[in-house]
């Protein structure tokens, strides 16, 4: 084990949307704490490179290439964690897209894409992960939402609606699953410097010149939620930059 501080040794985590941004940074941050990982996203080459990075940290990593909004992807990823790594302790529902535009210019297809990627994916992965967590009597489920899930903004109506829905889902699951010793949290970051929404309301110039956070900074907050003492849970964490 090459990590200096490994508080998640022996734990297995599953991270969706792991090929870039917060998901990629979170997978590496969890590995630095000693967790073995299953990572999933649609870009095979990026996942392969991520698994190689994780292995250099002394942890096991397996990849599932697929769309997080497809039930088969969730079933395969959860099944791989259980069959190949022996358990599943942490689920990070991170997969998400942004599309910032006036409401009247938003198509039904764009609405469906936002809802499926941002909400359906989390439902599916949680639905298939929770039974094993109930059986083992422990687990942590984190939804990566947004400050847009706490307050709406112009040009973000549908995106914001999906993020509000994530918060509601997490709050309900917190109430339902706590009796099984399962912690459910929602992390609500502000702006992050990543590929998120690039070409869909954000430009590279805007990202480069902004005060937004680095993905690794948000990943640190996600790991903080994962490493609380057994009797401590963080139902909601808001993370903002200093801009």
Which of the residues are catalytic? 159
> Minimal CA–CA distance to 228: which of 2, 41, 8, 4?
8
Interior/surface letters 87-117, b for 16+ CB within 10 angstroms, e for the rest? bbbbbbbbbbbbbbbeeeebeeebbebbbbb
SS3 of residue 60 by DSSP: coil
10 Å CB burial of residue 238 (0-12, 13-18, 19+) is middle
- Count each helix (H run) and each strand (E run) in the chain, helices first: 8, 7
> Minimal CA–CA distance to 99: which of 33, 171, 156?
156
> Minimal CA–CA distance to 7: which of 89, 84, 77?
89
């Amino acid at each position: 084990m090459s990590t200096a501080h490994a508080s998640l040794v022996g734990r297995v985590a599953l991270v969706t949307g792991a090929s870039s941004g917060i998901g990629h940074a979170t997978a590496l941050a969890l590995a630095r704490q000693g967790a073995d990982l299953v990572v999933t996203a649609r870009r095979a080459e990026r996942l392969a490179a991520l698994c190689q990075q994780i292995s250099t940290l002394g942890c096991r990593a397996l990849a599932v290439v697929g769309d997080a909004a497809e039930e088969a992807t969730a079933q395969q990823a959860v099944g791989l964690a259980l069959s190949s790594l022996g358990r599943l302790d942490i689920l990070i529902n991170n997969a998400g897209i942004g599309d910032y535009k006036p409401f009247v210019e938003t198509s039904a297809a764009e609405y469906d894409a936002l809802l499926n990627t941002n909400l359906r994916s989390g439902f599916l992965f949680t639905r298939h992960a929770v039974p094993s967590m109930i059986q083992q009597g422990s687990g942590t489920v984190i939804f990566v939402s947004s400050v847009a899930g706490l307050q709406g903004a112009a040009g973000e109506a549908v995106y914001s609606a999906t993020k509000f829905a994530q918060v509601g889902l997490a709050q309900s699951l917190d109430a339902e699953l706590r009796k099984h010793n399962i912690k459910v949290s929602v992390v609500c970051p502000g702006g992050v410097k990543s590929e998120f929404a690039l070409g869909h309301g954000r430009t590279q110039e805007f990202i480069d010149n902004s005060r937004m956070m680095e993905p690794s900074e948000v990943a640190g907050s996600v790991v903080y939620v994962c490493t609380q003492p057994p009797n401590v849970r963080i139902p909601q964490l808001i993370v903002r930059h200093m801009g």
